Amino acid sequence: MAGLLSRLTKSPTKIGGAGGQDAPLVPIRSSDVERRAGLLDSLEKSELGWFWASDGAGRLIYLSEPAIERISGEEKALIGLQLTEIFKDDDEFEGAAPQRPLKFQLAARNSLRPTTVKIDIGEKTVWWEISGAPRIGESEEFTGYHGIARDVTASIASQRDAEKLSRYDSLTGLANRHRITHKLGATLTAFQTAKRCCATMLLDLDRFKQVNDTLGHPAGDELLKQVAARLKRIVGDQGEIGRLGGDEFQIILPDIEDRQVLGDLSDRIIQMLSQPYSINGMRAVIGCSVGVAVAPFDGIESEELVKAADLALYAAKGGGRGQFRFYSDDLRDRASHRHQIEEDLRDALVKDELEMHYQPIVSADEHKVVCVEALMRWNHSDRGMVSPADFIPVAEEVGIIRQMGEWAINEVCQRVADWPTTIRAAINVSAVQFASDDLTEIVKRALKSSGVQPSRIELEITESVFVGDMERALRMFKELKAMGVRLALDDFGTGYSSLSYLRDAPFDKIKIDQSFVRGCSDAGNNNAAIVSAVVSLARALNMETVAEGVETKDELAAVVAQGASHLQGALFSRAQSADYITDRLEAGELIFEPRGPEKYRSDRRTEFRKIGLIHGDSRYNVFLRNLSKTGAKIEGLLDVPVGTEVVLDLSGGQLAVATVRRSEGFSQGVEFEMPLISDGADGLCTRHRVSPYQIEAAGRPLEALNDDIVASVMGGSSNTPKRFVEVDMSASNEK
């Protein structure tokens, strides 16, 4: 090696020439223009690199011929164009290293460092790496750039493939957790500066695990692909969808804060994802729950916003699944409450705190009780009665529902065996309990130990048990029917109905969900036709029908007119204690007369809470008595003239502009300027809220909404005399 290096440094060096004769070395000097031009020409033709040049105005004045042939084919089509018209910054490639925009670099007239640019050729795009040096004329003026370029399309394509693997879900093609998290963070940071809003949705598939377990993981993967395809069709170009893993998805929706729009979109997602799927010739049905949060109202940073959406999602799942929820401040308190419920629920059975209450089911003709539905209640030793809506979802989630269900079956069988009549009792069986292989044994032992006639026990099954292994479900039904118990299909028609259920499963009764009973007397409402169709179907299959949730006399008349054989609801009786029902049965008091309002009011709900009322520069404390989409009843101000315009602060940044339409003493009825909308649960909310950006403009730091800040900003002036007299309603509320 040393000998070779020494020979290379000696002068003159000999090289082999033609005919075997040595020839003198002739270096290419800087003055040898011809040979230097030949060298550059050879380099251009070799495709290893090309040359380009611009003038002082930034226009292209030269480009190697092979390069011209690649991107245009005609020199005249390129020469004279601005460099930035040909070479464009590649802003779409997230995996690329950060670089200054080409326009900025050219304007600085400094050396152009290697920069990746894209060039559009019709529908095709190629990528080059260009660099260059500025040229200075004799008068020290800038005369343009001389530069080199090379094609890097292949390497960019390779980088993009790697980028896609690292940022996109390989199964569905959606953004993965890393990308969607980065995207949300970057969006929120940019939007804070621009004072823009951004919504995010968290989605969780209901009953996906059952499909995965019964049909297999390949079927589960295929189902996820179909879910992703449906989401893409629904969301379109409104936002970006990501799969977080498993059956969880996230959607980012820039510049949407209208909760009417978000609620409608959530409803469409739930409806579309709940439609049946065909997987390898088999039918699968799942559901979807959605949690919605909006920045900056519900969170400023991405972590805060996602936590808010997660709490909303949890509330949607806890509310019965197949629903959506908007985030609100009280969800944090509910989460803490839910944790406490989970802790205490584990001891509820041991402490004997569970009770069974019974709601009568009466015949449609005589209003005579023929059956009662057993409903579990929790009488907490410290907090009193805990709502089933609070503890049943928790029990299902943590698995305690199986022990609770077994206790309920035994308790009801023992109670019914002691009743002096042939009245039946219906027991709800959760999907979790139905999935247990020992359900039939539990029922068999309860029947034997109590001595009750099996025909006096009904098991109410929801349609969700049919998701997954249909053959197992039908086998369970046959085993239960063989014992002599009755079967009822509960909540029929709420989203997963199939006539094959009724054709194949040996049901004795169909319970028409209260959502179809509600408002069935209203003109133009299709619920009456649905009730009629279900009744006709049940009659043809020799099954009884129960109209659930009958609360008003007009509903009673409507469902009876449609032919329902049995009725259940608060119009006759709410769920009562076991002792109350026992006393009535022993006394022979089997008739339950309807007692309740004459007419159903679809849009009004009772409220008992303190809210703020703003009039002019003054803020008042009033009580909200009832609330509808179009108005409210308030109490707490004396002699407010009809026609007075006010603003109700409904909490959470919800301000409703209203006009007083009725006023009597300290009570007023107001009409909203803009109707309220559904909050996804049983409540109502405003479409828009006070923007944290508005609060920031008033001198406050930017943060998510809270009632104290909104009240302080909208609190009015303490120096302005109040026009109306406030009445202390606390005493009457306590009464």
Would you say residue 448 has pLDDT above 80? yes
Average pLDDT over residues 530-537: 90
Shared domain for 583 and 647, answered yes or no, is no
Q: Are 425 and 371 in contact (CB under 8 A)?
A: yes
Question: Where does a domain end: 269, 302, 328?
Answer: 328
Would you say residue 501 has pLDDT above 70? no
**For residues 590 and 385, what is the distance between their CA atoms, to the nearest angstrom?**
27
Look at residue 8 and tell me if it is in a domain: no
Q: Are 677 and 684 in contact (CB under 8 A)?
A: yes
Shared domain for 633 and 506, answered yes or no, is no
Q: Please report, in angstroms and rounded to a whole number, the separation of the first and last CA atoms in the chain.
A: 106
Shared domain for 365 and 295, answered yes or no, is no
- If one compares 605 and 655, the residue with the highest pLDDT of the two is 655
On the 0-12 / 13-18 / 19+ scale of CB atoms within 10 A, 560 is middle
On the 0-12 / 13-18 / 19+ scale of CB atoms within 10 A, 634 is buried
Would you say residue 598 has pLDDT above 50? yes
Contacts of 70 (CB under 8 A, 6+ apart): 126, 151
pLDDT at 602: 53
- How many CB atoms sit inside 10 A of residue 724's CB? 20
Look at residue 18 and tell me if it is in a domain: no
Least confident range of 18-27, 176-185, 287-296, 309-318: 18-27
Q: What is the pLDDT of residues 326-380, one digit of tens each?
A: 998 888 777 777 778 888 898 888 899 999 999 999 999 999 999 999 999 999 9
pLDDT at 638: 93
Look at residue 645 and tell me if it is in a domain: yes
Percent of the chain with pLDDT over 70: 91
Q: What is the pLDDT of residues 622-649, one digit of tens each?
A: 999 899 999 999 999 998 999 999 999 9
**For residues 593 and 590, what is the distance between their CA atoms, to the nearest angstrom?**
10
Look at residue 9 and tell me if it is in a domain: no
Look at residue 437 and tell me if it is in a domain: yes
**For residues 130 and 144, what is the distance between their CA atoms, to the nearest angstrom?**
15
pLDDT at 291: 96
CATH of the domain at 44: 3.30.450.20
Q: What is the pLDDT of residues 136-172, one digit of tens each?
A: 988 889 999 999 999 888 888 877 777 777 788 989 9
Shared domain for 724 and 634, answered yes or no, is yes
Look at residue 595 and tell me if it is in a domain: no
Residue carrying the six token digits 């969301």 = 235
What Å distances lie between residue 714 and 209, 500, 636, 649, 671, CA to CA?
48, 58, 19, 9, 21
Shared domain for 306 and 428, answered yes or no, is no
DSSP codes joined into one string, 220-286: HHHHHHHHHHHHHHHHGGGSEEEEEETTEEEEEEET---HHHHHHHHHHHHHHHTS-EEETTEEE--
- If one compares 179 and 492, the residue with the highest pLDDT of the two is 179
- If one compares 568 and 36, the residue with the highest pLDDT of the two is 568
CATH of the domain at 668: 2.40.10
322: phi > 0 → left, psi -120 to 50 → alpha, else beta; which? left
Q: What is the pLDDT of residues 404-447, one digit of tens each?
A: 999 999 999 999 999 988 999 999 998 888 888 899 999 999 99
Average pLDDT over residues 27-43: 76
Shared domain for 383 and 518, answered yes or no, is yes
**For residues 229 and 452, what is the distance between their CA atoms, to the nearest angstrom?**
52
Question: Where does a domain end: 111, 136, 159?
Answer: 159
Residue 725 has phi, psi (to 5 degrees) of -95, 125
CATH of the domain at 350: 3.20.20.450
DSSP codes joined into one string, 8-68: HHSSSPEEE-GGG-EEE-----TT-HHHHHHHHHHHHHTTS-EEEEE-TTSBEEEE-HHHH
pLDDT at 94: 55
Look at residue 415 and tell me if it is in a domain: yes
Contacts of 116 (CB under 8 A, 6+ apart): 90, 96, 99, 127, 128, 129, 152, 156
Shared domain for 379 and 477, answered yes or no, is yes
Q: State the chain's mean pLDDT as an integer.
A: 86
Would you say residue 468 has pLDDT above 60? no
Shared domain for 446 and 541, answered yes or no, is yes
Beta bridge partners of 428: 460
Least confident range of 25-39, 319-333, 453-467, 558-572: 25-39
Shared domain for 379 and 497, answered yes or no, is yes
Would you say residue 305 has pLDDT above 60? yes
> pLDDT category, 6, cuts 50, 70, 90?
very low
Amino acid at 383: R
Q: How much is the pTM?
A: 0.64
Q: Where are the alpha helices (DSSP H) in 59-168?
A: 65-71, 83-86, 102-108, 153-167
569: phi > 0 → left, psi -120 to 50 → alpha, else beta; which? left
Shared domain for 133 and 260, answered yes or no, is no
Look at residue 11 and tell me if it is in a domain: no
Beta bridge partners of 656: 648
Q: What is the pLDDT of residues 383-408, one digit of tens each?
A: 888 888 888 888 887 889 999 999 99
220 is in which domain, residue-wise? 168-328
Average pLDDT over residues 609-622: 90
Shared domain for 137 and 242, answered yes or no, is no
**Total number of domains constituting the chain:** 4
pLDDT at 74: 77
Would you say residue 495 has pLDDT above 70? no
505 three-class SS: coil
What Å distances lie between residue 456 and 250, 421, 448, 517, 542, CA to CA?
48, 10, 13, 26, 18
Shared domain for 227 and 303, answered yes or no, is yes
> pLDDT category, 124, cuts 50, 70, 90?
confident
Average pLDDT over residues 672-685: 90
Question: Where does a domain end: 328, 358, 379?
Answer: 328
123 three-class SS: coil
CATH of the domain at 197: 3.30.70.270
